[in-house]
Every structure is written in structure tokens, then in C-alpha cells.
A = this chain, B = another copy of it.
Amino acid sequence: MRPPYYAVIFTSVRTEIEEGYSEMADLMLTLAQQQEGFLVIESARSEVGITVSYWKDLESIRKWKQNLDHLVAQQKGREQWYSSYTTRICLVEREYSFEK
């Protein structure tokens, strides 16, 4: 992808509550990919989870943040699935890739 574009870095620590989590995570992944301005998403989890979603512009991120289903997921996330998280909104200025 050619900069400039935006990244949302979501870093989280989970609680021990598993119920409903993976279903909601799958649903949010599907929904996010349908939003206007969505580019791509990458996710990994070890002690912390890091999910980075990439977006065309700030307006797309703002709309996704306010999406009704996503607001429900955010609320349940705070109540049940996450003990802490940080969301960072970032302007991607440069990108370098290597491939064998």
C-alpha cells in the first residue's frame, strides 16, 4: 500500500473470560472488512494481543468507531474480555517491504 494512509494499533490484555469472545472477534473482523476505507488487518497474540487495521483516512476510522455493532462489541470488551487495552491512531508515513 502506498503511504500516506492510517493505522489503528490496538494492543490488549485479555481477561480469563472466553465466552463469546472468538465469535465476536470473528464478527468484528468480517464487519470491519466491509467498511468503506478499510484496507487490511493483521493480528497476533502472545502475552499481549496486537491488532493493526489499516484505513484510507481518519473519516473511515471515525465511522467504524461509531458503528453500532462495533459499539456493542467495545462495551462487552470493556465489561468482559479485556483487562486493559490501548488504541493508537497513526498516520503511516513510510513503508518498506522485503520478500524472498
Using CB atoms and an 8 Å cutoff, list the residues of chain A in contact with chain B: 3, 7, 9, 11, 15, 42-50, 52, 78, 82-100
Contacts and interface: CB of A to CB of B under 8 A. Distances in A.
B44 A48 contact: yes
A47 B45 CA distance: 9
Given A9-B52, A42-B50, A90-B90, A84 B100 contact: yes
B95 A86 contact: yes
Interface of A: prevailing SS? strand
Given A7-B9, A9-B9, A46-B45, A87 B91 contact: no
Given A7-B9, A44-B45, A46-B43, A99 B87 contact: no
Contact of A93 (B44, B48, B89): B89
B92 A88 contact: yes
A43 B88 CA distance: 15
Contacts of A95: 86-89
A1 to B, nearest CB: 9
